[in-house]
Amino acid sequence: MKGLGAVEGEDTLLVGPSAEVLADQLPGPTGGSALGIATLGVGPVPDGATPTATGFEGGSFDSAVVLSAWETPAGIGSVLEEAMRVVRSDGTVWIGEIDAKALTASMPAARLYGLFYRSDPKAAADARFRFRSADVLGVDAVRAGLRDVTEAKADLPAAVIESAADGVEAVRSGIWPGTDALSSIAFDRLLERTNESLQPPTRFPVVLTLPWIIVRGTRP
C-alpha cells in the first residue's frame, strides 16, 4: 500500500467504492467515512458527500487517492477536478483503475481470478469494457493540470483469507467483478474450482489482490 502516497500524519482524502476498506489498510487513523468517501486525519465526511462534490473546503488535504470513482471514462474529469480542489498546492493526487488487460489475461496459477476470466470469455470482455478508463488515466491527469505525472502498475489487496472456505466466501461476496452475471450453475462451479485451487499445498494466509493502473501527479 506504500505506493498510494498516504503518509502517517498527513491528511488524506480517499474516494471510490473501496474507500472505507482502503482507510483501514493505510497508515493513520480514519477521520471519517461515508459511502465511497473516507479520510485519514480530516473528518468527519460531510453529509451527502459524492466524488464530484465532497463538501470539504478547498485545500483541506495533503493528498487524495481516487480509485475507480466513475462509471465511464467521461466521468474522470469531474472527479479529478474535485480531488484537485480539496488538495493543497504541491499536494499529491493519485487516481487508479483496475487493469482490465492484466485482470482478464492472467493465468490461474499466477492469479486466482484467472480461474474466472480465462474460462468465461464474455465476463472477460465485459470487464475490459467496464474498466476501459485505465487506458486514459494519464492523459486525463495531464489535461487536468497535474504536474510530474507518472504511471505505474500495482497489485492492491482486496482480501486476506485464512482458509479455503474464506477464499470461497470472498468470491461469493463479489470480489471479482462480473461474477454477479453468472448463472447459478456457473457460479457454483466457480466456487468449487476456487475451493479446489486453495487446497494443500496452499499456505495461508493468502492475500487476494486485483491489478491496478495507478497515476500520480502533483497539484500546482
Domain count, the chain: 1
* Contact assessment for residue 197 and residue 137, using Cβ atoms and an 8 Å cutoff: no
How far apart are the C-alpha atoms of 17 and 113, rounded to whole Å? 19
What b/e sequence results for 139-174 when a residue is b if at least 16 CB atoms lie within 10 Å of its CB, and e otherwise? ebbeebebeebeeeebebeebebeebebbbebbeee
pLDDT at 23: 86
Domain that holds residue 147: 2-218
pLDDT in tens, 153-199: 999 888 899 999 999 999 999 999 999 999 999 999 999 999 999 99
Question: What does the mean pLDDT of the chain come to?
Answer: 93
pLDDT at 3: 60
Using DSSP, state whether 31 is helix, strand or coil.
strand
pLDDT at 6: 67
Global pTM? 0.91
pLDDT at 122: 95
Using DSSP, state whether 178 is helix, strand or coil.
coil
**Cis status of the peptide bond prior to 201, with omega within 30 of 0:** yes
- The percent of residues in the chain predicted with pLDDT above 70, rounded, is 97
How far apart are the C-alpha atoms of 96 and 213, rounded to whole Å? 5
User: How would you classify residue 36: left for phi > 0, otherwise alpha for psi between -120 and 50, otherwise beta?
Assistant: left
pLDDT at 1: 45
Question: Model confidence at 21, in pLDDT bands (50, 70, 90)?
Answer: confident
Reply yes or no on whether the pLDDT at 2 is more than 90.
Answer: no
CA neighbor of 32 nearest in space, from 22, 20, 48: 20
Whole-number CA gyration radius for the chain = 18
CATH of the domain at 184: 3.40.50
Q: ∠ at Cα 171 (73, 6), nearest 5°? A: 55
How far apart are the C-alpha atoms of 30 and 27, rounded to whole Å? 9
pLDDT in tens, 51-91: 999 999 999 999 999 999 999 999 999 999 999 999 999 99
Mean pLDDT for 129-149 is: 96
Q: What amino acid is encoded at 214 in this protein?
A: I
**Cis status of the peptide bond prior to 108, with omega within 30 of 0:** no
Helix (H) / strand (E) element for 87: namely strand 87-98
Which residues, including other chains, have CB under 8 Å from residue 198's CB and lie 6 or more apart? 112, 161, 163, 164, 167, 168, 206
Alpha-carbon distances of 50 from 63, 76, 123, rounded to whole Å: 17, 13, 29
pLDDT at 89: 97
How far apart are the C-alpha atoms of 45 and 63, rounded to whole Å? 16
